[in-house]
Amino acid sequence: MRFVLFIISFLVVQVVTAQQVFLRLNTPAKSQNTVTSSKQFITGLTCKGCTLTINGTETKVWPTGAFAVELNLKLGDSSFLLEATNEKGAKESRRIFYSYQLPEKEKTLTTNTVAYWRIEPQGDLLLKPGDKLKMTVKALPGSVVQLENGTAFTELFPKDSNAVKGIYQLEYVVKEKDDLFTGKPSKLKLMLWAKGTNDPIEASSKSNFAMMAAEGLLLETKGNIPYILLGLGEDRLGGTKMGYVDSLVRLKAVSKVGNKYCVQLSKNRQAYIEEEHVNVLPQNYTASSLTGNMRVWGDSSFDYISLPLSERLPYQTFQQVNPSRVVVDVFGATSNTNWITQMSGTKEVSTVSYQQTEQDIFRINIDLEHKQHWGHRIYYSGNNLIIRIKRQPEILALSNLVIAVDAGHGGSNKGAFGLTGVMEKDMTLAIAKELQAALEAEGATVITTRTKDTTYDNHDRYTVFQQANPHLLISIHLNSSADPVRIKGASTYYKHIGYRPLTQTILKRMLEMGLGEFGNVGNFNFILNGFTEFPNVLVETLFISHPEDEANVLDPAYRKQMAAAIVQGVKDWLELCKKQ
């Protein structure tokens, strides 16, 4: 009887297994697709152990059930039949249709209208004399196009506008007393006369424009981590940061683009800061200072350099290697430093010197004893600019180090998704836990941002780590790409050149696991790479979008191996520091 029940149970299990065949598509999201590129991908998930054919040709299915196929479409219509089959012959199918057409070329207008009026830079603007507005208008060919003050646009030759007629351009330079702008924000107007007509049509700008007060505005930084931007460009990580500055730093705003003030750092240097990081002060002047005599000393933990100023001025810092040096530029400062007092208690600072690189830029050069940069922090104590230099640990062993481990994303910030539906936030946490265990097994003290699935803002992470001041930081992430077939592998990232060696040794060890190489990436604009206080590395362990990489990260043994490789990379870096 028990044997009969076993046979029945076995058959039921086999039937259930046969009924579990499925086919889920991630891309494309729908069955009917109109596309303008021949390169397309079909990705998705089927049952583990199932076979998959596309138009009769068997396609690789990874052990997770994920699949990814690249298509090279021909012009016109095409269709693809996907058919998944399990071991018992049960099938599930889907058909996908594509209509591949070349992108439509921009056409010349045939009706009297303003198709578009584009103004760069974009956004509401507070302008100053000398600012340039680049304007492009599309209208009927042969029209007369003018701003409301009579400034005329020039129609481009077709060879300069992709063979499209009726493209007009103007580079408008804001004048000292400009009749186009007032102190009150308002929209610009455009007048257009089509060929052979007497009555113009009008168009208004989307953004508002006004003149900044001639004396500008005096700003003061606020908050925990205000930062200055080099320019207006942005990507998914935001604008390129010149660097972080302390609070209560005085900046002179001379114009504004959208939510960004343009600040005059020195006679020849401008930068930008977002309005959320500053207060506008009621008084108005250009912040500047003579420098006092500098002092260099050490306490039980750090070396210090102090520069007396009459007020808090903006600054920029960067690292140099071969020889190792920390450089700090103070904007608006003019030298009145007649000596530098250097005490004998310093251990990492070798020599401090200064130079007046421009009339209003004072540069401090700090030469280090060791080749490896271990970190520095800049802040104000009153109006004294303090540069705190971190010393190399006396014992270069993991058992002597405090290491920060950051599991990227978390909570509502899910990160990227794999083809199986696995979320980046879950995998970063799993790897980070393995890394923490591996480091602690070596005797290291580990501090973390999150140990469970909680939402953690990157600015909060920055503040926590800045206060904790570990010896180094490792931030764990997984990469993702729109190409799930070719793009795979590991990569490491840094912003400051002095921290590159750590990122190189970790990547080398990860590549020894057989992972593909996506590269060692520098000058990276990730917030946790912004620390100057301690060496840091962003480890993009692999591509969650690639089915093989995804299968690897879903394997607990592989995650443990990956953590071991990262730890070995840190140990290699410490050995390198010993030799130097």
- 575 is written with which tokens? 């050995």
- 461 is written with which tokens? 């992470």
Residue closest to 53 by CA, chosen among 80, 18, 24? 80
Residue 1: per-residue pLDDT: 46
Residue 19: per-residue pLDDT: 46
Distance CA 566, CA 512 (A): 11
- 417 is written with which tokens? 């998704």
Render 450-506 in DSSP notation, one character per residue. Answer: -SSS----HHHHHHHHHHH--SEEEEEEEE--S-TTT---EEEE-SSGGGHHHHHHH
Residue 269: per-residue pLDDT: 97
Distance CA 477, CA 518 (A): 14
Strands 517-521 and 490-493: parallel
H-only helix segments in 232-378: none
Q: Phi and psi at residue 506, in whole multiples of 5°?
A: -65, -45
Contact of 14 with 88, CB cutoff 8 Å: yes
- 329 is written with which tokens? 């530029």
**DSSP classification of residue 392:** P
Residue 284: per-residue pLDDT: 94
Architecture of the structural domain at 398-579: 3-Layer(aba) Sandwich (3.40)
Biggest distance spanned by C-alpha atoms of the chain: 103
Contact of 333 with 289, CB cutoff 8 Å: yes
Q: Does domain 289-390 have CATH number 2.60.40.3500?
A: yes
**DSSP classification of residue 277:** G
Contact of 399 with 444, CB cutoff 8 Å: yes
Q: Please state the three-class secondary structure of 132-182 as a single string.
A: EEEEEEECCCCCEEEECCCCECEECCHHHCCCCCCEEEEEEECCCCCCCCC
Interior CA angle at 254 toward 249 and 256, to 5°? Answer: 95
Distance CA 523, CA 475 (A): 16
Choices 2.40.50, 2.60.40, 3.40.1800, 3.30.1560: CATH for 116-211 = 2.60.40
| Positions of the chain with pLDDT lower than 70, given as ranges | 1-19
| CATH code assigned to 2-100 | 2.60.40.10
- 381 is written with which tokens? 């104590």
Contact of 58 with 51, CB cutoff 8 Å: yes
- 108 is written with which tokens? 């010349």
- Single-letter residue type at 84: A
Distance CA 3, CA 476 (A): 52
Sign of CA dihedral 224, 227, 232, 234: negative
Contact of 291 with 333, CB cutoff 8 Å: yes
Architecture of the structural domain at 217-280: Roll (2.30)
Q: How does pLDDT run across 73-94, given as a tens digit for each residue?
A: 999 999 999 999 999 999 999 9
Residue 486: per-residue pLDDT: 96
- Single-letter residue type at 69: V
Residue 8: per-residue pLDDT: 41
HSE on the CB side for 308, CA within 13 Å?
10
- Single-letter residue type at 277: H
Distance CA 225, CA 268 (A): 25
Burial class (CB in 10 A: 0-12, 13-18, 19+), 529: buried
Strands 536-543 and 472-479: parallel
Sign of CA dihedral 464, 466, 469, 474: positive
Place of tokens 């760069």: 120
pTM of this prediction? 0.92
User: What 3-state class would DSSP assign to 84?
Assistant: strand
Domain ranges of the chain: 2-100, 116-211, 217-280, 289-390, 398-579
Equal fold, 2-100 vs 289-390? yes
